[in-house]
Amino acid sequence: MTNLPIYPLTDEHKMIRDAARDFAQKEIAPIAAEFDESGDFPYATIKKMGDLGFMGIEIPETYGGSGMDALAYVLALEEICKVDASHGVIMSVNSSLYCHGILKFGTEDQKKKFVMPIASGKAIGAYSLTEPQSGSDAGSMKSRATRDGDSYVLNGRKSWVTSGPVADYFVVFMMTDPEKKQKGVSAFIVDGKSKGLTRGKKEPKLGIRASATSELIFEDCRVPAENRIGEEGEGFKIAMTVLDAGRIGIAAQALGIAEAAYEAARQYAGQREAFGQPIGAFQGTGFKIADMKTRIEASRLLIYNAAIAKEQSKQSGGRYSLEASMAKLFASETSMYVAHQAVQIHGGMGYSRELPVERYFRDAKITEIYEGTSEIQRLVISRSELGIK
Ligand code: CAA
C-alpha cells in the first residue's frame, strides 16, 4: 500500500484532518450503529462537534467559526463521514447550506445574529428549497412570501429539509413574484420558533437515519423584512450559489462513506478464505479492489480540486459550479459502486446488521439524490461544457 494522497496539505490541514479523525473514532464510532437503528438525533455528539469548532470550520472567526479554508472543511467532513454519514450531513448542511448563503449575500447584522450561533455550534441551521411538487425543478416552487409592511407573510409547504425537526434557524426560499418564475424567488432567514411554522412528520429513511428530515408547513408565518437575504428576486441565484458549496460537502461525505466501505472490503478480502486461499487472491475480487481504490482516489482529486476552486472564488467572485458538480457526480456514484462491491465481497456478512457495511450501502444512496441528483449534476456539467442555457 502507498501513502495516498500525494497532495500538498499544509500543517493546518493535517491538524484538522487528524482532529476530526480522532474525534470520529473516539466519540462517534461507538454510537453510530445505535443511532442508525433508533433514528434518534445525536444531540450530544453534535454539541461536542460544535464545542470543538467542527460546525463552522470554514466560517470566519469574526462570525463564530474556525476561520479555516475550504479544503480544511472537506478534509474534516471526509473523516467524520468515514465513521458516520449522518453526523456528516448535519455538519455539512449547517456550514454550507445554511451559513454560506448568509455569509455571501447577507448584511453584517444578519451575519452577526444568524451565523454566529450556528457556526459556533450553539444552534443548528437548515436550508429549505424543495417542495412536494418541485425537487429538481426548483424554480417551479409554489410557496408564497407576501410583503406586508415591515414583514413578509410566508405560506406553503417545504419538504425533505435536512435537520428540519431540530433546526433553530432556516434559510427558506419562496416566491415573492410567481410571474417572474426563477427571478421571482426570494430568500429569508426564519427563526424555528416563529408562529405559523410547523414541522411536519419526520421522514422514515433508508439511510442517514440519525439525521432528522421533515416537511415544514408555513401558515401565515410572519418574518421581519430585515430577514430577507439579498434583494427580492435574488433568491434563486442565492439558492444555486449555496448548492454549489453544498455539493462539495456531499461529495466529501460520499468519499468518506466509500473509504470506510473500501477499507472493510480490503481487510475482509485478505482474511476470508475460500477454496484454500484468501478471496482477494481471486482476480474476481482483486480487480474489484483495484477499481474501488482507483475510483476513490479519482474522487478525492475532483473534490480537493473543487474545494480549491471554491477557495479561489472567495477572491475572484467567480463560480465553481462545474467543479462542484463533477466532484459530486463522480464521488456519489463511486460511493454507491464501492459500497455495493463491499457488500458483495462480504457475502452474507455484508447483508448482516452485525457489520457496518450494510449501513455504508444504505447511506451511500442518498449522495446520488440530495443537493441535486446525478441527473441534475450531468445537466449542469453538460450545459456548462456546451454553453447551453
Ligand atoms: N450559481 C449562480 N447562479 C446560477 C447558478 C449557480 N450555480 N445556476 C443557475 N444560476 C442562475 C442562472 O445564471 C440564471 O440567471 P440569469 O437568467 O440571470 O442568467 C438563473 O439562475 C436560472 O438558471 P437556469 O435557467 O439554469 O435555471 P433552471 O430552472 O433551468 O434550473 C437547475 C437549473 C440546475 C436544474 C437547478 O434548478 C437545480 O440545481 N436543480 C436541483 C435543485 C437541488 O439541488 N435541490 C436539492 C435541494 S437541497 C436538499 O437536497 C435537501 C437538504 O436539506 C440537503
| Same domain, yes or no: 203 and 241 | no
pLDDT of residue 7: 78
- Domain's final residue, options 235, 269, 301: 235
120 and 144 share one domain:
no
Residue pair 81/18 in contact (Cβ under 8 Å)? The answer is no
Residue 2 in any domain: the answer is no
Q: Which of 182, 366, 383 to mutate to test the pocket of ligand 1 (most atoms within 8 A of CB)?
A: 182
In a domain, 325, yes or no: yes
Does residue 224 belong to any structural domain of this protein? Answer: yes
78 shares its domain with 137: no
One domain, residues 286 and 358: yes
234 labelled catalytic: no
Is residue 243 within 6 Å of ligand 1 at its C-beta?
yes
79 and 169 co-located in one domain: no
pLDDT, position 389: 76
**Residue from 133, 202, 237, 386 to probe ligand 1 pocket by mutation (most atoms less than 8 Å from CB):** 237
Q: In a structure prediction context, what are the per-residue pLDDT tens digits for the chain, which is 389 residues long?
A: 555 556 789 999 999 999 999 999 999 999 999 999 999 999 999 999 999 999 999 999 999 999 999 999 999 999 999 999 999 999 999 999 999 999 999 999 999 999 999 999 999 999 999 999 999 999 999 999 999 999 999 999 999 999 999 999 999 999 999 999 999 999 999 999 999 999 999 999 999 999 999 999 999 999 999 999 999 999 999 999 999 999 999 999 999 999 999 999 999 999 999 999 999 999 999 999 999 999 999 999 999 999 999 999 999 999 999 999 999 999 999 999 999 999 999 999 999 999 999 999 999 999 999 999 999 999 999 999 999 97
Residue nearest (by alpha carbon) to ligand 1 atom 10: 237
Is residue 130 in contact with ligand 1, taking CB distance under 6 Å?
yes
Phi, psi dihedrals of residue 259, rounded to the nearest 5°:
-65, -40
Residue 218 DSSP SS3: strand
Answer yes or no: is 4 within a domain: no
- Top mutation candidate among 131, 180, 240 for ligand 1, by most atoms within 8 Å of CB: 240
Which one of 297, 371, 375, 385 is the catalytic residue?
371
Determine which residue's CA is closest to atom 28 belonging to ligand 1: 139
The verdict on 174 and 295 lying in the same domain is no
Three-state DSSP class for residue 326 = helix
- Give the pLDDT score at 8: 83
Q: Are 194 and 291 contained in the same domain?
A: no
Q: How far apart are CA 157 and CA 179, in angstroms?
A: 19
| 106 part of a folded domain | yes
Q: Say which CATH number the domain at 369 has.
A: 1.20.140.10
**Which residue among 106, 124, 142 closes a domain?**
124
What spacing in Å lies between the alpha carbon of 354 and ligand 1's midpoint? Answer: 41
Helix (H, G, I), strand (E, B) or coil at 249: helix
370: Cβ below 6 Å to ligand 1? Answer: yes
Q: Flag whether 1 is in a domain.
A: no
Q: Which long-range contacts (CB under 8 A, 24 or more apart) does 57-62 make?
A: 57/16, 57/95, 58/95, 59/95, 59/99, 59/103, 59/115, 59/119, 60/103
Could you tell me which of 77, 225, 252, 238 has the C-alpha nearest to residue 171? 238
Residues 80 and 172 both lie in one domain: no
In this structure, are 306 and 357 located in the same domain?
yes
Tell me the helix, strand and coil percentages in the chain, rounded to 5: 60, 15, 25
Domain C-terminal end among 96, 124, 152:
124
Verify whether ligand 1 is closer than 6 Å to residue 161 (CB atom). Answer: yes
139 CA from centroid of ligand 1 (Å)? 8
* Residue owning the nearest CA to atom 25 of ligand 1: 389
Is the residue at 5 inside a domain?
no
Task: Note whether 21 and 61 are same-domain residues.
Answer: yes
Q: Enumerate the β-bridge partners of residue 172.
A: 128, 188
Selection from 158, 151, 193, 152 nearest residue 172 by Cα: 158
**CATH classification at residue 88:** 1.10.540.10
- Report how far residue 59's alpha carbon sits from residue 68's, in angstroms, rounded to the nearest whole number: 7
Domain that holds residue 285: 237-386
- The DSSP result for 351-370, as a single string, is GSTTSTHHHHHHHHHHTTTT
Contacts of 160 (CB under 8 A, 6+ apart): 130, 135, 203, 213, 215, 370
DSSP 189-200: EEETT-TTEEEE
In a domain, 76, yes or no: yes
Considering the domain architecture, whether residues 246 and 382 belong to the same structural domain is answered as yes
pLDDT score, position 363: 98
Helix boundaries (H) for 185-282: 235-271
* Cβ–Cβ < 8 Å for 89, 98: no
Cβ neighbours around 21 below 10 Å, total:
17
Residues 252 and 378 in one domain: yes
Q: What is the CATH number of the domain that holds 130?
A: 2.40.110.10
Nearest CA to ligand 1 atom 20: 237
Buried b (16+ CB within 10 A) or exposed e, 249-268: bbbbbbbbbbbbbbebbbeb
How many domains, the chain?
A: 3
The finding on whether 162 has its CB within 6 A of some atom of ligand 1 is yes
**How far apart are the C-alpha atoms of 14 and 16, rounded to whole Å?**
6
Residue 196 exposure: Cα atoms within 13 Å on the Cβ side: 13
